[in-house]
Structure 1
Amino acid sequence: MNRFENKIALITGSSQGIGAACALRLAKDGCDIILNGHKFDERGEKLIAEIQDMDRKATFLEADLSKAKEATKLITDAIAVFGHLDILVNNAGVEKKANFWQVTEEDYDLIMNTNLKGVFFSIQSFVNYCRKSKVAGTVINMSSVHEEIAFPHFAAYCASKGGLKMLTRNLASELARFNIRINNVAPGAVSTPINQDLLNNIEQLEKVLQNIPLKRMGKVEDVAAVVAFLASDDAAYVTGSTYFVDGGLTYHYEEQ
């Protein structure tokens, strides 16, 4: 299925996990892909090979998205690769567990800068390109169920995702006149490297599954499928929304 003919997508934080799954899904549906991470390594090489095996083009750009200048430059560099850019998936993100009264300024800054400031300025750079080139751009931000529900011991992370929720709502209104759509995808409990400790703790994993009506962890492919929908013309009338990919967890949650 080639729903993205002649489309170029940039997926930040796409060396592994959800970002990698989004890259593969968009490539499968016809996109040429620009991957991103802190460092190009064997994971990026493997993804490029997989995407090229689908007869799609792919490259990898390094950037530290906690720095606004690098986030802005990443968009400029991405546009230069294939000559245009249609889809921006802001997937890069970090989290750190700590009691609220023990959170350091360093960790707070890392989380807020990566999850919110970097996203803010990458979108700004993309919007400036879309306006100048008259491109009907599409932005998908990787949020979290914790833009909506509490997550004790992750206060900075929740604040960053709450900010991302409001940023998306605001930009949907402000950017609609330029035919730029922007939406959030909010994964719940998904089997990714960031959740490896949970996956290895059978007792804690069972408590999490009790809160999920579908009684399973999500797969990265579940999230990527929703990203592909929102990036496509099938979602042409969708902007300013958050799509929860959580097995029903968000409105069936009890803190253990």
Structure 2
Amino acid sequence: MNIRLDGKRALVTGGNSGIGEAISLCLADAGARVAINYVAHPEVAQSLAQRIQSQHGVAITIKADVTNPEAVAKMFQSIDAAWGGIDILVNNAGIDGGRALGWETGIETWREVIEVNLMGAFYCAREALQRMVPQESGVILNISSVHEEIAWSGYSAYTTSKAAISMLTKTLAQEAAPHGIRVLSVAPGAVKTAINSSVWSDPANLHDLIKKIPLRRLGDPEEVARMVVVLVSDVASYVTGRTVFVDGGMTDYPDFAQGG
């Protein structure tokens, strides 16, 4: 099966690094025009856009802080000006905020994680839906985490934001379905990216992490990105309102493989 997204107009928030970069590349490879959102390191975003263009794809870069609704509105206006609208939104931008127990966490740090991961996703979804509802088509895909289901001590803001993304996905899917729009989430598990290099580059930490994964390895960003391409394509035309876990079985609780 050859999955194609020819002519589709896509936006990937936080699309210039890690999983977002892989998603941008995979969407472009499938034929979509890709708007790469970034908040820092414009040279990295531009380099990625040039890489896509060198492979005969279409890509633009847009700087916007997803926690700022005015900036988000301007970002979508830029896409309107460039391409006349949007067909695919991938809400990928996110942060974990660093580790601190709940009673030790700074209020501003906690709030920042919620604003990026949850409010940012909502601001972007809201703008996308304002365009998708009149055209009676479109797909919104939120990047969640296994931690929408699995508690993670020291990261209460992150886990809370991802659990909220799950319910936001379901609710928006229910609201948008009568208009021909699908809303889904993909929840990665342990994926090897630069942001978590402190874990996989340390042998002891890596060994501990691998024990939590039935497939006994870390995931690759492209493995997440390929699932995103499938879900935003017509191959998944009857799928909405659900989170698809791309986690090597982490949510299967491998500690119970030998009994309770």
TM-score w.r.t. the length of structure 1 is 0.95
Residues 34 and 78, structure 1, Cα contact 8 Å, conserved in 2: yes
RMSD: 1.5
Mapped partners of 1:110, 1:76: distance in 2: 25
Return the letter of the residue paired with 1:8: R
Residues 95 and 113, structure 2, Cα contact 8 Å, conserved in 1: yes
Aligned to 2:119: 117
Residues 17 and 192, structure 1, Cα contact 8 Å, conserved in 2: yes
Return the letter of the residue paired with 1:48: A
Mapped partners of 1:95, 1:28: distance in 2: 29
Alignment of 1:229-248 (within 5 A): 229-248=230-249
Q: What secondary structure sits across from 1:89 in the alignment?
A: strand
Distance 1:253 1:165, change over 3 A: farther
Mapped partners of 1:223, 1:66: distance in 2: 24
Aligned to 2:132: 130
Shift of 1:170: 0.9
Structure 1: unaligned runs, 5 residues or longer: none
- The superposition leaves residues 134-179 of structure 1 with CA deviations (integer Å, 9 ceiling, x where unpaired) of 1401001000000011111000100000100001011111110111
Aligned to 1:106: 108
* Stretches of 4+ aligned residues off by more than 6 angstroms: none
Distance 1:81 1:140, change over 3 A: same
Return the letter of the residue paired with 1:89: V
Mapped partners of 1:184, 1:229: distance in 2: 12
What is the total number of aligned residue pairs between the two structures? 254
Alignment of 1:92-103 (within 5 A): 92-96=93-97, 97-103=99-105
Shift of 1:80: 1.9
Q: What secondary structure sits across from 1:250 in the alignment?
A: helix
% identity of equivalent residues: 38
Residues 40 and 61, structure 1, Cα contact 8 Å, conserved in 2: no
Mapped partners of 1:24, 1:71: distance in 2: 22
Structure 2: unaligned runs, 5 residues or longer: 256-260
TM-score w.r.t. the length of structure 2 is 0.94
Alignment of 1:1-256 (within 5 A): 3-96=4-97, 97-132=99-134, 134-252=135-253, 254=255
Return the letter of the residue paired with 2:188: P
Mapped partners of 2:159, 2:174: distance in 1: 23
- The superposition leaves residues 18-46 of structure 1 with CA deviations (integer Å, 9 ceiling, x where unpaired) of 00000000101111110011035221122
Distance 1:253 1:74, change over 3 A: farther
Distance 1:64 1:253, change over 3 A: farther
Shift of 1:76: 2.3
